[in-house]
Amino acid sequence: MSNVYFGAARQGSLSAGETLPCKLDLILDRLRLRDRVQGETVAPKMHLGGNVGYSTIHPVFVRRVVKAVRDGGGAPFVCDTSHGCQSAAERGYTAETLGCPIYPTGGLDEKHFSIHRREFLNIREWRVGGAIQEASFLVDLAHVKGHPSCGFGGAFKNLALGAMMGPTRSAMHDTNQFERYWFPERCPDGETRRRIVESCPLGALVPDRDKPDGLHLHYEPCNQCGRCLRVAPEGALFIRRENFWAFQEACAIATHTVLSTFQPGKSVFINIANQITPVCDCFGFTGMSILPDIGVFGSDDIVAVDTATLDCIAPHMVFADGLPLEMEAQPDAGHPFQVIHGPYKDPYKVCEYGESLGLGSRRYELVDVMPARRPGRAGAAYIPAAQP
Ligand code: SF4
């Protein structure tokens, strides 16, 4: 069982000391980050977002991590994909605001990487960014949000995609195309194919560009509503869990590959669950929040930190009014991230796969670093508020 240190977004009183940046400090203390980074080259890996997005991790948080590393005698550099780094200053991320340099994980043109050979479905090799590989200590600093491929993005997703180079990221997204789902011999009629395409309200099914009798399923917008299956002839089209889960398994393998470049005990995992939007920060904009702010989580165990984050989100209702009108909530689909992305995008799958690869444990103890308490100003002789 692993410890997951938690600071809730909810405050007991109107005090700066009870807000998330200060609770992050307490979590860094509990992780003993300062004691562990003496002489280390430390990579806080985060998602710097893109374009006009402003719900990525605020520099206030990043700066506290960087300061803790410097206080402990480490040499920090924040890193992300080249895409995220090149426009980072537009969103407030500079060496001055963060307190350390910002480097693209694979260099500006993503040509600085190391190749790890490992077969999984369509993938033969995994290209890990050279800057990550060269760091001796990792701080996985992840913003928690929904994700159209796997339901949710947290500590796993931050490394799985963000530490890999473009060709690997693309191949990972193609894993859900690996198992066949369209059988044209069962649907030779073009008019029926047109009706199948039109049955999808989310635009997830389109004619295949390369095959006249083919259909292509975009897994990202598909919420598994099943409308297309009502139109398709039997056996022509399949919407299978396994196709959706392939991406999650790829994320676990990618993360395992990245973490294999660090010595045991040389990585910590932090999830910041605020401004939780429906889709990934890659989209380059910030929509409305679809869940309440939850808090900050930190652990030495990536499986435990993502599991605990998902468990703390699970009891909350999705703010349906926060969803873009083009998305469709399914209230009975399960976890809030399944409500917005569909039942087969089970956000826990990446934790299951990660645990099976030996990356950590789904059993954890949640340690609240500052439980919220109601201020005890009113005593036994409490006088109810008067109506004005
Ligand atoms: S299951 Fe629903 S969302 Fe997915 S392709 Fe079919 S109609 Fe579209």
Distance (angstroms) between ligand 1 centre and the Cα of 222 equals 5
Q: Which backbone phi and psi does 134 adopt, to 5 degrees?
A: -85, -20
- Domain-embedded: residue 377: no
- Report how far ligand 1's centroid is from the alpha carbon of 208 (Å): 16
Contact indicator for 366, 314 with CB cutoff of 8 Å: no
**Domain-embedded: residue 383:** no
Ligand 1 atom 4, closest CA? 222
> Cα(210) to centroid of ligand 1, in Å?
21
Residue 379 lies in a domain: no
Closest CA to 263 of 103, 36, 1: 36
Q: Residue 188 maps to which CATH number?
A: 3.30.70.20
**Distance between Cα 224 and ligand 1 center (Å):** 5
- What pLDDT, in 10s, does the model give residues 35-75? 999 999 999 999 999 999 999 999 999 999 999 999 999 99
Of the pLDDT bands very low, low, confident and very high (cuts 50, 70, 90), residue 373 is: confident
Cα-to-centroid distance, 284 and ligand 1 (Å) = 25
The parent domain of residue 192 ranges over 180-239
Number of structural domains in the chain? 2
Stretch 235-264: mean pLDDT: 97
Residue 163 falls within a domain, yes or no?
Answer: yes
**118 and 198 share a domain?**
no
Residue 231 lies in a domain: yes
Q: What residues are paired with 152 via a beta bridge?
A: 146
Question: Does the structure show a pLDDT above 80 at 18?
Answer: yes
- Indicate whether 27 and 132 sit together in one domain: yes
Average pLDDT, the chain: 95
User: Which residue lies with its CA nearest to atom 7 of ligand 1?
Assistant: 200
What CATH number does residue 332 fall under? 3.40.50
Same domain membership, residue 98 and residue 44: yes
- Protein residue with least CA distance to atom 3, ligand 1: 222
Protein residue with least CA distance to atom 8, ligand 1: 200
CB 10 within 8 A of CB 45: no
Separation between Cα atoms, residue 351 and residue 347, nearest integer Å: 8
Question: Per-residue pLDDT for 379 more than 60?
Answer: no
Determine the Cα–Cα distance for residues 349 and 248; give it in Å rounded to an integer: 6
User: Is residue 385 a part of any domain in this protein?
Assistant: no
Q: Is there a domain that residue 162 lies in?
A: yes
The letter for the amino acid at 388 is P
Same structural domain, 190 and 159: no
pLDDT in tens, 191-225: 999 999 999 999 999 999 989 899 999 999 999 99
Q: What percent of the chain has a predicted confidence (pLDDT) above 90?
A: 90
Whether residues 207 and 284 share a domain: the answer is: no
Distance of CA 296 to the CA centre of its chain: 14
Q: Is residue 110 part of a domain?
A: yes
Tens of pLDDT, residues 78-118: 999 999 999 999 999 999 999 999 999 999 999 999 999 99
